[in-house]
Chains A and B, each alone.
Chain A
């Protein structure tokens, strides 16, 4: 960090406090008077990977749109990287909060993958001489060496999905919002996306991942939020949340199969749930009890 810290709102600015601060945020859709978010408060420290689970219509997408400033709270406040979203236009917020759409087709429009990767930083006003370095970093991180010159629609859907994330990555946001990153993906691609999310967290990026894919959330989230009827009804580690039968039952969410099994094995009664196959195998063999026991 240089002697003169960048001012709030500058793309290189990093807050000293929590990366995301939401205070009593409420959002009412203007026309239908539907309360989409009913007074939610959370703090997310920088570098945390947060999963959000919940049925459609429970308020997940409203929350993520409040985080990138696309929606402004009807009351309460949302602050990301020290910037109150109510005070900043969404274009300014985009330098700090990257939103990766579920369907990359809604996001990609350049004629080559390389142009796609350059578009975001250019749009943010990043000097031309800095852009190749950002592209190179993204190419390495996402393994896009072989497809740079290709049209985004000429590559497979799974690769296109990675390009969708990479084109946000080159904007170097502090926070990544991933909307259903594994929908419609096969096991192989899901594994790649899973590892990418973990690596983003390791770099110190903050990741908010909205998904119905419970094994993904069990794997990557350090913290899992559950939304129900416009409210946050659970906030804890995936192990805590998936073990909460009341919350799982009320929201009709199904923990990963291995987690469900771990909770039903009579000899493990009262012990914390397992989140992965390896964990439960070790636990049953008595090598090491599931973490948090």
Chain B
């Protein structure tokens, strides 16, 4: 049942970009609890980014189109509040960190959001230091963002949102342009922020193995609609459905499913769980 007191409450949400006819997202209903780690999967164009942009008010304030339904984030309505207010609560990180960097030094990059909302300088300094520390970039203050590795740039982008003390971090394919080391860095930081700082993390990501390991819940979008949701074990148990949607399940789940045969339940979704599952079968 819909719970209107949920931390994030999305009701019958739809958005059609101007000059298009097919809605980018259509009739989405979902609740997200504070501190949850949610993964969103779907083909390119399924509506993952659009859904994220509805959380901080970029939709409908900064893009042209038509919205239906409602969004409530911590009791606030992103369609009513200005984006600069929502942006304090919902940090956004996109796939290409370089596109987000505009300043001469890492510290200035992090300071930008605070300057925009008029935080006094004396208060900015410790907040910047704290944000850089959270992403493991202490001592990088004076470095040029362009001289950082991809993983460091993406962590800096996260720091630039953390300094606003958001309660939600939305990451849109945050590692698709990173090398394996950078990918590991970013997902480790996100997990730590979720577990230790209680940040609500929402990640759109193609790599299902990563989500199976970290996410509490997975949302599956298809042609703008929320077609499947549940824990990783629930969602990835539906291998045939996922294949129909053009998506895949973790390799270990596909393996266990093939061994167990049709109708099997309790399939593992991580490597460790699969080892235990194999042992229990032996």
Contact = CB atoms under 8 A, between A and B. Distances in A.
Nearest to A53: B180
A189 interface: yes
Contacts of B95: 184
B247 interface: yes
A186 B246 contact: yes
Contacts of A156: 44-45
Interface stretch (A5-13, A115-123, A236-244, A258-266): A258-266
B255 A258 contact: yes
B259 A261 contact: no
B31 interface: no
Contacts of B183: 212
Interface stretch (B116-124, B128-136, B270-278): B270-278
Given A185-B44, A257-B209, A212 B179 contact: yes
A41 interface: no
Nearest to B46: A186
Interface centre among A188, A253, A256, A278 (most CB of B within 10 A): A188
A57 B184 contact: no
B109 interface: no
Contact of B278 (A183, A186, A188, A265): A265
Contact of B275 (A254, A265, A281, A285): A265
Nearest to A257: B251
Interface in A100-124: none
Contact of A264 (B45, B177, B181, B275): B275
B274 A187 contact: no
Interface in B159-202: 173, 176-184
Interface in A150-183: 156-158, 183
B255 A252 contact: no
A278 B257 CA distance: 11
B150 interface: yes
B190 to A, nearest CB: 17
Contacts of B18: none
B179 A184 contact: no
A201 B34 CA distance: 50
A35 interface: no
B44 A158 contact: yes
Interface centre among A186, A187, A264 (most CB of B within 10 A): A187
Nearest to A278: B258
Contacts of A285: 259
A220 to B, nearest CB: 16
A194 interface: no
Contacts of B184: 252
A261 B258 contact: no
Interface residues of A, number: 33
B44 A252 contact: no
Contact of A277 (B43, B44, B258): B258
Contact of B258 (A186, A214, A281): A281
Given A187-B247, A277-B251, A281-B258, A252 B149 contact: no
Contacts of B247: 186-187
Interface string A187-230: 11100000000000000000000001011000000000000000
A107 B173 CA distance: 23
B246 A188 contact: yes
B52 interface: no
B180 A254 contact: yes
Contacts of B182: 56
B246 A280 contact: no
A261 B271 contact: yes
Interface in A31-90: 55-57
B53 interface: no
Contacts of B258: 277-278, 281
B149 A215 contact: no
A234 interface: no
Nearest to A158: B44
Contacts of A187: 43, 206, 246-248
Contacts of B278: 265, 284
- A-B pairs with lowest CB-CB distance, top 5: A258-B251, A188-B246, A56-B179, A257-B251, A184-B176
7 contacts: A56-B179, A57-B149, A183-B177, A187-B43, A212-B183, A261-B252, A284-B278
Interface of A: 55-57, 156-158, 183-189, 212, 214-215, 252-254, 256-258, 260-261, 264-265, 267, 277-278, 280-281, 284-285
Given A55-B181, A158-B44, 11 more contacts: A156-B45, A186-B44, A186-B247, A188-B43, A257-B209, A257-B252, A258-B255, A261-B255, A264-B271, A267-B282, A284-B278
